[in-house]
Structures are given as structure tokens and as C-alpha cells.
Amino acid sequence: MKRTATIYIVGVEPEGIDPLRAPLSGLLEKARLVIGGRRHIDPLREGMDPKTEFLPITSNIPEIVERLKHFVATEDSGKNALVLATGDPLYYGIGTPISRSLPPDTLVFMPATTLVQRAFALLREPWDKVRVGSFHSKNEKPEIVPGRWAFYTGGSMGPSEVCSLILNKKFGISTMALLEEIGMEGERVRHFARITSASELPTDIKPLNMVVLTIEGAGNHGS
């Protein structure tokens, strides 16, 4: 029976990849397909086998899943694919559509710290009772209820989208922290008191960001 290739889905810390340290140091040599954000895969191109295929992650998740299916179906054991993603790929990440579409025995997951963990470490605040939502998907938005929340956003306009959704549902936002480029050179944390309109947010928000905020129930917030 033909033994199939393995797909390694590896979490990367926000600071970026280190190809000289485990687990990447032991995986890159056998990788024939490398998938990831450009900031993850571009530093690897020079030191890899010229035959290695690189596929950037953009908004092309269905294409990536189909490419991985083809890889598993055509490559033999000993040939590996490598998918790189920030944090834990199975926590609001690309690992979810991959795990739903490919045979489990072809997948190996190696998570890193999630951005939610990193965010609350910066805020010096426990997060065991925090709700988490994501605005990465254009089709599904989280069901908003009062409480402490962390949101993965969809770019520079993501925080405005989060606030608009909450306020349009007649909930209030009593506090908000905007965390940008966590773990990177441009890391920045900004705090805001009560938000009554998305227009109150700054216009210089960096694309890599997430927000942590407290949502109040309807009728519990002032003007």
C-alpha cells in the first residue's frame, strides 16, 4: 500500500520564524510544499531546495485546501508539506478548514502561543472567562452578548467593524484596548474609555491588530 505524505501545520510566534530552531529545523529539509503568509515564507525561499513550491496565504483558503488534497494524493511518504500560521492554527486559524477537509492521519499540528494569550499578557489580565470572536470570516459573525471579549479583526478597518456591529445591536462598549502588531517591532497598545461611535477610533490602525473590550447590555450604557 502506498504511504502518503504528511502535512505539518506549524504555529509561529508573532516575532516570526526561526528556521534554525525546532520544529522548523527538522521539517524544512523534507518540505516540498510550503504554505504561509508572505512574512512567513519569504525568508525561507533562499535556503530551500529550488524545486520547493511556495504558496502564499491570502483569501485563497479553498485553493490551499485543494492543493493540499492533491499533495497528499500524489506524493509518497517522506515528502512533506508545511503550513505556517501565527499562533495556534486550530484556534480561529487555517488549521480548521484543513482539519475538516483532509484525512486526520496525514496531519500533524504544532501550535504556538495564540494572539489572545499574548494580548492578555500585555494587558496583565487573566482571560479564562473571556469570550473570543473572529471577524476574519465574511460569512459568519459572532453572536454578541454582554461580557469581556477579545476579537480577531479583519485588518485596519476591523476594529471599526467590531464596534459598529456591537453598537448597532444597541449594546454598549465601556472599555476597549486596541493591540497592534503584537510581538513585532511596531507593537502598540492603546486604551479607550467608553466608545459610542466607531468614528471615535483612530485612523492610523495597523492591519495586524486585535481588540479587547467590555460589552454592556442594552440599557446599561450611557450616552
pLDDT higher at 167 or 79? 167
Domain residues of the chain, as ranges?
Answer: 6-113, 116-216
Give the pLDDT confidence of 163-176 residue by residue, as tens digits: 999 999 999 999 99
Architecture of domain 116-216: 2-Layer Sandwich (3.30)
Fold adopted by 6-113: Cobalt-precorrin-4 Transmethylase; domain 1 (3.40.1010)
Find which of 46-50, 109-113, 138-142 is predicted with most confidence, using mean pLDDT: 109-113
Cross-strand partners of 7: 81, 107
Q: What is the pLDDT of residue 15?
A: 87
Tell me the mean pLDDT in the region 46-62: 89
Tell me the mean pLDDT in the region 194-207: 95
Q: In what order do the strands lie in the sheet with 53-56?
A: 53-56, 31-36, 80-86, 6-12, 107-110
Tell me the mean pLDDT in the region 62-75: 93
pLDDT at 5 over 50: yes
